[in-house]
Amino acid sequence: MKKRVLLVDDEEGIRTSLKMILEPTYEVICAADAHEGLDQFRREPPNLILLDVILPDSDGLTLLQTIRAEDPHIPVIMLTAMKTVKTAVDAMKMGAADYVTKPFDLEELRLIVAKALAAEDLEREVRRLRAQVVSRYAFHNLIGKSPSMQEIYSKIEQIADARTTVLITGESGTGKELVARALHYNSSRRDRPFIALNCAAIPETLIESELFGHEKGSFTDALARRAGQFELAHGGTLFLDEIGDLSLSTQAKLLRVLQEREFTRIGGSHPIRVDVRFIAATNKNVVELLRRKLFREDLYYRINVISLYLPPLRDRREDIPLLAKHFLAKRLEDEKQSPLDLSKDSLEALLKYHWPGNVRELENVLEQATVWCRGNTISPEHFPSTLRGGAQSDSLREETLSGRLPFEKAVQEFEKEIILDALRRTEYVQTRAADLLGISRRMLKYRMDSLGISRTEGHPPSDASEMVQ
């Protein structure tokens, strides 16, 4: 389908020639004055407007203002004689995309029109993607009906639009970055960058360059100037995850930036001022880090203006069914698969499991289940053996207390479950599994033989040459 171009010019010759030039590629609609041009604009919204600066019943700037008020995104190219070029430049300050002087260079005109339409296509796609991101992190998309999570959502809503520094704490996998993004995309900074950096993933020798950038030649591998994360986040939000892993020297430099709102690149001599909303997160006990002198008190008080604690999934089990439904729907939408349901037993297994990896582990478990499931219902057999073992522990307890299972047999089954879990967690290396259990490797091997645990039980990796050594 051809894109529509609205041409507003009072000279019939120009309308005819431009229509002839552009029509092989575009659908061209003509108007002889501002009144007719505005009617055409409102009747059939075009993709681009060619607008003469001087019109018989008005001037192009007035019409440009009206169009911009009704549609701030449509590209408008001003048509002007040489003597009115300054007016055309003024029009660009008011939002025009470009201007062309009369008489026209036909190839230049075609190029300017094509370039303006391509730029608008790109901007429209950016707006669409940005709207999707904003929608994804809207409050109604944060999953959890538990009182603890409802309190978190209420706090996010209250502080989202503030510049206040926020410290998010909680175990790994509880969704700290999700909360940071919700704070950003529900604030007035939503159209500016959200920069996330995992401090634990950056070597100590590179972290300063990563945060503040460097000048060309400032160290051996500095082959070009590089902007740091603070600079890239200007006007938006900088999220530092695992801030508890920063060294004391880096903490001191970070503190100065938070206090002064300016920094200097490595090898630079001029300070750079930034407007950044700062959010930090850690899965460590910061109070313990302070006690051990591994975290600066002054930095802690600077970043802990507002504190949000995300509880582990095991402490809000009422959220598990909602999260499971959400992750299944998301996974199936991405893969364009038929809907899947959780069986009663599989939901019970999810509710009984202790979830050391929290929400992230739940999402991974359900992703695996959708791969293994060949029907319409996910059963416990589609879950990893570690998760099935969690449900098995509760089942053993119930069977023993009800008298259906002898106590000695229950003890053996439970011991077998613990040993298998230790082997899985250590990739089936017996020496490491024995250390995890606090026993010798000889004792572990003896118990494995006594309980009939084979080298292949629990589906260890086939290429793990050290799995039982």
Percent of the chain with pLDDT over 90: 41
Rounded Cα distance, 222 and 195, in Å: 22
pLDDT band, very low/low/confident/very high, at 469 (cuts 50, 70, 90): very low
Give me the mean pLDDT over the 339-345 stretch. 87
Quote the pTM value. Answer: 0.63
Integer angstrom CA distances of residue 60 from 4, 64, 78, 85? 20, 6, 8, 13
Give me the mean pLDDT over the 317-336 stretch. 84
Distance of CA 91 to the CA centre of its chain: 38
| Cα atoms found within 13 Å of the Cα of residue 172, Cβ hemisphere only | 7
What are the tens digits of pLDDT across the range 362-400?
Answer: 998 998 888 888 888 898 888 887 676 555 555 566 667
Any idea which residue has 């992190």 for tokens?
137
- The closest alpha carbon to 255, from 290, 301, 286, belongs to 301
Element (H, E) at 359: helix 358-372
Q: Locate 443 and state its tokens.
A: 């004792």
Rounded Cα distance, 176 and 198, in Å: 12
Identify any residues that bridge with 459 across adjacent strands, giving them in sequence order.
none
Give me the mean pLDDT over the 355-364 stretch. 88
| Cα atoms found within 13 Å of the Cα of residue 199, Cβ hemisphere only | 22
The one-letter amino acid at 245 = D
- The closest alpha carbon to 189, from 149, 271, 141, 133, belongs to 133
- The closest alpha carbon to 450, from 395, 413, 423, 400, belongs to 413
pLDDT at 467 over 50: no
pLDDT at res. 388:
66
Identify any residues that bridge with 77 across adjacent strands, giving them in sequence order.
50, 98
pLDDT band, very low/low/confident/very high, at 238 (cuts 50, 70, 90): very high
Domains of the chain and CATH, by start: 4-132 (3.40.50.2300), 143-311 (3.40.50.300), 313-377 (1.10.8.60), 384-469 (1.10.10.60)
Q: Locate 280 and state its tokens.
A: 């930090």
What are the tens digits of pLDDT across the range 412-452?
Answer: 878 887 888 788 777 778 888 888 888 888 889 888 888 88
Rounded Cα distance, 382 and 346, in Å: 9
pLDDT at res. 460:
39
| Contact criterion met (CB below 8 Å) for 4 and 44 | yes
pLDDT at res. 40:
93
pLDDT at res. 391:
53
What are the tens digits of pLDDT across the range 163-192?
Answer: 899 999 998 889 999 999 999 988 999 889
pLDDT band, very low/low/confident/very high, at 462 (cuts 50, 70, 90): very low
pLDDT at res. 211:
94
pLDDT at 459 over 50: no
Rounded Cα distance, 392 and 190, in Å: 46
| Contact criterion met (CB below 8 Å) for 51 and 63 | yes
Rounded Cα distance, 469 and 428, in Å: 9
pLDDT at res. 197:
95
Any idea which residue has 């529509």 for tokens?
4
What are the tens digits of pLDDT across the range 185-228?
Answer: 889 998 899 999 999 889 888 899 999 999 988 877 778 888 99
Rounded Cα distance, 372 and 352, in Å: 21
pLDDT at 56 over 70: yes
Give me the mean pLDDT over the 1-11 stretch. 91
Query: Residues with Cβ < 8 Å from 239, sequence gap 6 or more?
Result: 177, 180, 181, 184, 194, 195, 196, 197, 279, 280, 281
Give me the mean pLDDT over the 13-25 stretch. 90
What are the tens digits of pLDDT across the range 61-71?
Answer: 899 999 999 99
Give me the mean pLDDT over the 291-303 stretch. 95
β strands within 157-313, DSSP E:
166-169, 194-198, 213-214, 226-227, 237-241, 262-263, 272-273, 277-282, 306-309
Mean pLDDT across the chain: 85
| 337-361: burial string, b at 16+ Cβ within 10 Å, e else | eeebebeeebbebbbbbebebbbeb
Sign of the dihedral through C-alpha 348, 354, 357, 359 = positive
